[in-house]
Copies of this chain bind each other. A is one copy, B any other.
Amino acid sequence: MSEAEDLVKVAQAAREAAAELAPLPRAPKDAALRRIADALVAATDEIIEANAEDVARAEESGTSAAMIDRLRLDAGRIEAIAAAVRQIADLPDPVGEVVRGTTLPNGLELRQVRVPLGVIGIIYEGRPNVTVDAAALCLKSGNAVLLRGSSSAYASNTALVRIMQRALAGSEVPERAVQLVPGQTRESARWLMRAREYVDVLIPRGGASLINSVVEESTVPVIETGVGNCHVYVDADADLDMALRILINAKTQRPSVCNAAETLLVHAAVAPEFLPRALAALKDAGVTVHGDERVRAYSADVVPATEDDFYAEYLSLDIAAAVVDSLDDAIAHIRKYGSRHTDAIVTRSLEAARRFAALVDSAAIAVNASTRFTDGGEFGFGAEIGISTQKLHARGPMGLPELTSTKWIYTGEGQVRG
């Protein structure tokens, strides 16, 4: 059988599984998730064996140590993956929630009820824990999932999906509700992006180039996640100690994530007082500052910033920096260069905070707080499938409700329109 035929078969099975899964109430879904968690722990050796193949292949091909670390699974990590599944089982089920409802003047009882989206395709990169994490979130929200991971994690992902399917086989959730896309090739990803008949939504999880290619090529609706060029703007009215604390936290607490800060903007009125302290603190923290001319005036360590630096999502100990003459210049800079993820203002001025929050067009605005709080866990969602930087359907951290749609149901006694 050709790869294309395999793909259709897998997608059809997903569609059928989605139809069976959608009406299931919470209890059997939670039971299935707990079976998956138990099965993963029980199969630790099987997983590690498969993972060793991927790791060996990565080592042979000269993959970086950091990438290999992200790929590697051990008993502790498998236990953590299983614990995350159990945590998802403990969360409330979004399906069935009545979002709105009323009785219409003609007596029709109208309600809008959360329902699963159907079949969710996830296209992701190296880390095999995403395989389980995404599957658990989709199952909990009543969706079938088609997983298309990286070929570098193929053996690990195959083992993880096989074990999850084995666990589902003894549950009320259909086994084929979790499937790996055959091939895990460029072609299989492309097929998924065009499979409007079978896939209700595609969620790319990974770097900017992956996300952009999915957005460009997909005819299936996409939820864009996670590119973050987050700004920290230090206003003329800022508490400068607070500003420094927020800047260092936002940049250095975990530089590799999308809600880390990538650009510092400082109001000219406080630049002479703030920048020397900030540049010294950033240097101490090992951060390279890419500054405009006005920033470079304060330290010889500052590297000249190009236009590209202000667009960059470094995900490393680098930060772009510029001095701005006004709040509105800061807002204009962010609107031009930002990625509409999270932008922070540090200010004591209520007026400045209001204006910044109103005019910066991003998924999240942090007022006197680190950008690092834009996170499903921090927001209290319990779990997160990603952070949407698009405006349709979901914006910001996406929890379980964001993996659902709604359906209107109206019930009457023979009402007709006059």
| A415 near B369: Cβ-Cβ < 8 Å | yes
Q: Which of under 10, 10 to 19, 20 to 34, or 35 or more describes the interface residues of A?
A: 35 or more
With A and B bound together, what is the CA distance between A138 and B218 in angstroms? 27
- Could you tell me which residues of chain A, from 361 to 388, have a CB within 8 Å of some CB in chain B? 361-370, 372-374, 378-380
Given contacts A118-B361, A361-B22, contact A368 B407 (CB under 8 A): no
Tell me if A56 is interfacial: C-beta within 8 Å of chain B.
Answer: no
Determine the chain B residues whose CB is within 8 A of the CB of A390 once the complex forms: 221
| A409 near B201: Cβ-Cβ < 8 Å | no
Give the segment of A38-46, A149-157, A238-246, A285-293 that binds chain B: A238-246
Determine the chain B residues whose CB is within 8 A of the CB of A353 once the complex forms: 411
| B391 near A359: Cβ-Cβ < 8 Å | no
Given contacts A108-B373, A368-B411, contact A361 B19 (CB under 8 A): yes
State the main secondary structure of chain A at its contact with B.
Answer: mixed
Given contacts A215-B219, A392-B221, contact A409 B370 (CB under 8 A): no
Which of these, B200, B372, B406, B410, contacts A366 with CB under 8 Å? B410
With A and B bound together, what is the CA distance between A239 and B223 in angstroms? 44
Tell me if A136 is interfacial: C-beta within 8 Å of chain B.
Answer: no
| B246 near A368: Cβ-Cβ < 8 Å | no
Which of these, B110, B362, B406, contacts A395 with CB under 8 Å? B406
A144-174 interface bits toward B, Cβ cutoff 8 Å, 1 = contact, 0 = none: 0000000000000000000000000000000
Tell me if A416 is interfacial: C-beta within 8 Å of chain B.
Answer: yes
Given contacts A201-B392, A393-B393, A395-B406, contact A414 B215 (CB under 8 A): no
| A392 near B395: Cβ-Cβ < 8 Å | no
- Could you tell me which residues of chain A, from 102 to 131, have a CB within 8 Å of some CB in chain B? 102, 104, 108, 110, 112, 115, 117-118
With A and B bound together, what is the CA distance between A417 and B396 in angstroms? 18
Which of these, B108, B393, B409, B411, contacts A392 with CB under 8 Å? B393
Determine the chain B residues whose CB is within 8 A of the CB of A372 once the complex forms: 416-417
The 3 closest A-B pairs by CB, nearest first: A249-B416, A369-B412, A391-B405
Q: Which residues of A contact B (CB under 8 A)?
A: 19, 22-23, 102, 104, 108, 110, 112, 115, 117-118, 196, 200-201, 215-216, 219, 221-223, 239, 242, 245-246, 249-250, 253-254, 335, 353, 357-359, 361-370, 372-374, 378-380, 390-393, 395-397, 405-417
